[in-house]
Amino acid sequence: NAGVTQTPKFRILKIGQSMTLQCTQDMNHNYMYWYRQDPGMGLKLIYYSVGAGITDKGEVPNGYNVSRSTTEDFPLRLELAAPSQTSVYFCASSYSAGHQHFGDGTRLSIL
Amino acid sequence: GDSVTQMEGPVTLSEEAFLTINCTYTATGYPSLFWYVQYPGEGLQLLLKATKADDKGSNKGFEATYRKETTSFHLEKGSVQVSDSAVYFCALPNSGGSNYKLTFGKGTLLTVNP
């Protein structure tokens, strides 16, 4: 049982490039989330999904897009990368309220 | 709105010292409460939870008691180890129909020295 798997683990982008952060879960959870964690800071919710085909904005959605075509996958797309998007990105999933399962994160630097 | 206020860090302790990390919350009703832990280089993982007032959650020697009178959920451990060095987050579900979303505290970095 792999849980929540994120790829890649590390990435360096140039300003203006785009990329997709992959997230997949094998627990058949309906709820999935994307967070960013800036150095020394807490978590900020970027986007979330309550099921396949349904997504919604969190606190800090600008500059990002998501899709949820299957229960398992919830990719996060960065368009026109900016230095302010340098962060650690975490994907999480949950079956019910409270207990979220996290991936190990993608460490993204934009130079 | 719902909020969590967590003790500012960093906290540095010697091995076998007593640990307390304070957490207070503002919420409608009596939500479940959670402590998550993030070890270096990893994602968050659930450490313990309490689902109703006066419940005590416990795991790996850590405990936290849900106190509705003081709206608190302080994390404690009687004797910390070097392996407990991590960031600790207090969290509660959003109220109303979006309780699958969590509000996290800002996190408290704990460093335990041998």
* Residue-level pLDDT at B44: 95
The answer, for B1 touching chain A at a CB cutoff of 8 Å, is no
* Residue-level pLDDT at B1: 73
**Average pLDDT over chain B, rounded to whole?**
93
Chain-chain contact of B100 with A45 (C-beta, under 8 angstroms): no
Tens digit of pLDDT for each residue in B50-74? 999 999 999 999 999 999 999 999 9
CA distance A89 to A36: 4
Chain-chain contact of B43 with A90 (C-beta, under 8 angstroms): yes
Does the pLDDT of residue A40 top 90, yes or no? no
**Average pLDDT over chain A, rounded to whole?**
94
A1-22: average pLDDT = 94
Which residues have C-beta within 8 Å of that of residue B98, sequence separation ≥ 6? none
For residue A2, what pLDDT band results from cuts at 50, 70 and 90?
A: confident
* Residue-level pLDDT at A1: 67
* Residue-level pLDDT at B108: 95
Q: Residues B77, B18: contact at Cβ < 8 Å?
A: yes
Tens digit of pLDDT for each residue in A56-77? 999 999 999 999 999 999 999 9
- Percentage of chain A beyond pLDDT 70 is 99
* Residue-level pLDDT at A80: 93
Q: Residues A74, A66: contact at Cβ < 8 Å?
A: yes
* Residue-level pLDDT at B20: 97
Q: What DSSP line would sit under B40-109, residue for residue?
A: TTS-EEEEEEE-STT-EEEETTEEEE-BTTTTB--EEESS--GGG-EEEEEEEEPSGGGTTSEEE---EE
Give the pair of three-digit tokens for residue A65: 């897009």
For residue A44, what pLDDT band results from cuts at 50, 70 and 90?
A: very high
A98, A101, A104: residue with CB nearest B102: A98
Average pLDDT, consecutive stretches of 10 residues, N- to C-terminus, chain B (114 residues): 88 97 91 94 94 94 96 97 97 83 92 97
- The residue of chain A with its CA nearest to that of B10 is A40
CA distance B70 to B33: 14
Q: What are the φ/ψ torsions at residue A37 (nearest 5 degrees)?
A: -130, 110
For residue A31, what pLDDT band results from cuts at 50, 70 and 90?
A: very high
Radius of gyration of chain A (CA): 13
* Residue-level pLDDT at A42: 85
